[in-house]
Amino acid sequence: MSKRSSQIQGMLYCGIDVSAKSLTVAIQRVAQPAEQRSFANNPIGHRALIGWLRKTKSPVRVSLEATGIYSLDLAFALDAAEGIEVAVLNPKVANRFAQTIRRSKTDAADVEVLAEYTHRMPFAAWVAPSSSSMRLRSIVRHIEDLTVQSTQNQNRLHAAHGSTSTPAALFKI
């Protein structure tokens, strides 16, 4: 048996369903039933999940769906962990795969499908964005928030005093 096939044979495949507050996780090995657990979606839960995955003493491949802000911190934590490879999947790709094998739509079924996807499909490891990309993302989001707040304030001013008044006119008595 080649080194590569024995490594794949000992590989642990993991699927994670990410929500705002929780992580539903399924792990499976070849020819064994899946095991599931739940963790909090916060730094403490991330550390507990990584500790649980490392207890297996096997290389781990994890797939999770990209869910924006809910999955990003988890992806960073998993990517930094020794012995764990992570793939962040486009939800449409995961959903299409799930449609071919799923009977029901629950978190428990979703994570087993993600673990199965990790096992069957070619694995494309996630590449963490650079720190400068993350800073730029933060700045762009802040500008978007400020734009929304500015529009809301302009609408409030307009509603309070009609379209011809100026902000200075609001303070005249």
Q: How far apart are CA 74 and CA 66, in angstroms?
A: 10
Q: How far apart are CA 51 and CA 54, in angstroms?
A: 5
- Region for residue 15 given its phi and psi (left: phi exceeds 0; alpha: psi -120 to 50; beta: otherwise): beta
Read off the pLDDT of residues 146-171 as tens digits, 9 standing for 90 and up.
999 999 999 998 888 765 555 665 56
Indicate whether 55 and 105 sit together in one domain. Answer: yes
Indicate whether 115 and 148 sit together in one domain. Answer: no
pLDDT number for residue 18: 93
166 belongs to a structural domain: yes
**Structure tokens of 121?**
């499909």
Q: How far apart are CA 23 and CA 68, in angstroms?
A: 14
Number of Cβ within a 10 Å radius of residue 115 = 26
Query: Domain of 74: which CATH number?
Result: 3.30.420.40
126 belongs to a structural domain: no
Q: How far apart are CA 74 and CA 40, in angstroms?
A: 11
How much is the pTM? 0.69
Indicate whether 70 and 107 sit together in one domain. Answer: yes
Indicate whether 81 and 158 sit together in one domain. Answer: no
Indicate whether 27 and 70 sit together in one domain. Answer: yes
96 belongs to a structural domain: yes
For residue 35, the SS3 value is: strand
pLDDT at 62 over 80: yes
How many domains, the chain?
Answer: 2
Listed residue (84, 70, 79, 73) closest to 43, CA to CA: 73
pLDDT number for residue 170: 58
Domain that holds residue 41: 3-120
